Structure 1
């Protein structure tokens, strides 16, 4: 990738990688930024353009379909991206003057081999700007699924799923929330410092944070553009980056000093290290995962946080029989469709499929069956996903309980802060638009004698 000094040109190059090679948005952008020579302002604009356009691609393509002589999928691929870059600025970046959005996009077309089509680019963008002065140029279907899908840029099957499970009003609120830029949460390490000390140190360094309601270790970054590794206290192990919802999982698990605990799908290790912190690094934690490369991240954090209770095992947890009835507690943070984290993974909404979810449900059931055998009598198993899909959540648990009548759901105690997220069935459900954090499903199961 050539050295770039222009945020819009970089955005074109990165979006090309994402669309054609199915690169992950964060990875492609990170690689692009490392090779580019951009000011902070230009870096921020490139980041906004790339993430925003990947999120909003269905909406932007609908506008190209409606305003252009050729449909979006009939345009030359790079020209399609260039039009998306122009339309995104006009529609969503009101701080950029209309003339700047149009002119820079026309220049981008000329510099990338579309001089003869630069008039088409200019005409389409100016048509949008002219129509936008009267009303929204985006023409929407009366069908609620298609209307929400085009307006908020989600595939129809996902909108239909949410409407069926959550209702139309909640679905629209969810779509709005998932199109916002995500905030970053930190989990403070109580073995090293206190929430108050971190807040004070950050404030002294011009970094604004706020506590997260109901979570004793969580701080949310409000402002401050430096990278995580440059934050004060990072090297000293004062904190870990972890969404507030993910922190709820370990609090429900409730690790106790001296216990043997198994984290069945541990990488990259956010919940594993949280377990160690809550049990004061006193006990045995088996961190299992089949991804050796992702377990390296766990090892790095284990070292940075100075935790000694964690033992790492690489392999498929469905195949581990050596743990039979050996654990006081087991955490199964199951592989899932990730439909609760779509604001952080903008490409996922267009890459996930119902067929893939069916495969995941089978995997979830197999993992739950095996990991349940690791739990001692009267022991605990917590099942968690970061998805909003009852097929992967409630149905998996209901089917498991039918097969294993000696297991039962254990709701959080009435005096626990976790009751805020509890349902009448006893499991926890975190809705992003309601709780302002990743969507999660978490349930604690207790094994009978």
Structure 2
């Protein structure tokens, strides 16, 4: 497929997303099934167009004077992919699969002035979140939003139980991998421009052998900050598919015990194969049955809570969720988080550490939750996250990452990672 056909396909997919209110991934999959002539490169390019359109939906709509699927995709072609209106109209001419020619208003969108646009438009954030984000990031909040609207890198974590990062990078040399800037076992492949394809590393022999896992560098950093040590008893209370369980087990050198639990049996299902492939022997999966964790009360050195959240830190990867987020969903997540903090504390032994993690950049889910929790639990106090950073990551914590209450917040703008929050709490 040539560019005109790819643009038309992206408009079709975005229209499907809007009309049927379905996730972007499902709409792209359905388009691929219905158009089997499209090759892998075509599908990757169309996916890039769709996701780029959603990442900068507000600013693209402002430039084009419309938020229709056609306007958004044309904006991506001109603003993000470097096409000019004349070049597009020339390419469209005589191509049976092309969208209709750009009109004068659409062509003017290529040179629109965004300097007078509202701050939330320039930041590509929903308007109602402005107070929260300004509270979180101060005068940098627009820059934070703009970084959150970029493409994410593909990050991997070398499995220390099987391979060093250098060994993994040698296996993946054809993809030009690089060491991550912070995570000691991290490997990254920066996102490419335009129709660049994300490497399919999960078919590589090194992945099948368990040498590495796909894991954003931010997730690796907060897992390291948990500080799990050899011989400890650790509960991963919201283990999900097991990404952080695997990182904890590797940090502990397969000694001690990691108890992996999740209240959702379906989320937990992939963990069994992943543990086997990674050669993890010190993890015990606890299925969500009545009394599944009763024997762990008061015994854990660490309890890790990777709490359910709005996922605002992952907007680069799931930009459609940015525009669906509501105050009601935020309130629901806050209620779940507060309950998990209280639940997690039950399993700590005296002197144990509670590790609270979210993939959110909103203070309502981060510092605010910790403030409310500490106000009601005098036997819990914050640990020094800067010291934990030095111990876990063998470097000083970069300036500006600390939050007012003593947590740490990672973002694409600050650390080149997804957005993550981590706070460490010690039981008296």
- What is the CA-CA distance between 1:106 and the residue it aligns to? 8.3
Change (3 A) 1:353 1:255: same
Among 212, 219, 226, the alignment partner of 2:187 is: 219
Given the superposition, is the C-alpha separation of residues 174 and 188 from structure 1 closer, same or farther in structure 2, using an over 3 Å criterion?
Answer: same
- Aligned match of 1:101 in 60, 83, 88? 88
**Can you list the C-alpha shifts for 1:343-371, whole angstroms capped at 9, x where unaligned?**
11111110111221122111101011011
Query: Structure 1 residue aligned with 2:284, among 306, 311, 328?
Result: 311
The one-character-per-residue Cα deviations of 1:281-317 (angstroms, maximum 9, x if unpaired) are 2232221112222212222311221223222233399
Give the stretch that moved more between structures: 39-48 or 341-350. Answer: 39-48
Gap regions ≥5 residues in structure 1: 73-79, 113-117, 142-146
Aligned to 2:379: 406
User: Which residue of the partner structure matches residue 132 of structure 2?
Assistant: 161
Does the CA contact (< 8 Å) of 2:126 and 2:322 recur in 1?
yes
Measured against aligned partners, the alpha-carbon deviations of 1:166-208 in whole angstroms (never above 9, x if no partner) come to: 223x1121122112111011000111111122223322xx221
- Residue 174 (str. 1) matches residue 133 (str. 2): no
Task: Give, in whole Å, the separation in 2 of the partners of 1:406 and 1:265.
Answer: 23
Count how many residue pairs are aligned between Structure 1 and Structure 2: 412
What secondary structure does 2:235 align onto? strand
- Choose between structure 1 and 2 for higher RCO, CA contacts under 8 A separated by at least 6 residues: 2
| TM-score, scaled relative to structure 1 | 0.83
3-state DSSP class of the match of 2:163?
coil
TM-score (norm 2): 0.86
Alignment map for 1:24-423 (pairs within 5 Å): 24-33=23-32, 36-64=36-64, 66=65, 80-94=68-82, 96-102=83-89, 122=101, 124=103, 126-130=104-108, 132=110, 135-136=111-112, 140-141=116-117, 147-168=118-139, 170-203=140-173, 206-222=174-190, 225-315=198-288, 321-412=294-385, 413=387, 415-416=390-391, 417=393, 419-420=396-397, 423=402
Kept in 2: contact 1:6–1:38 (CA 8 A): no
How far residue 9 of structure 1 moved from its aligned partner, in angstroms, is 3.9
Name the structure 2 match of 1:75: none
Q: Report which of the two structures shows the higher radius of gyration computed on alpha carbons.
A: 1
State the partner residue of 1:429. Answer: 409
Q: 1:16 to 1:317 in 2, by over 3 A?
A: farther
Structure 1 residue 58: Cα displacement: 2.7
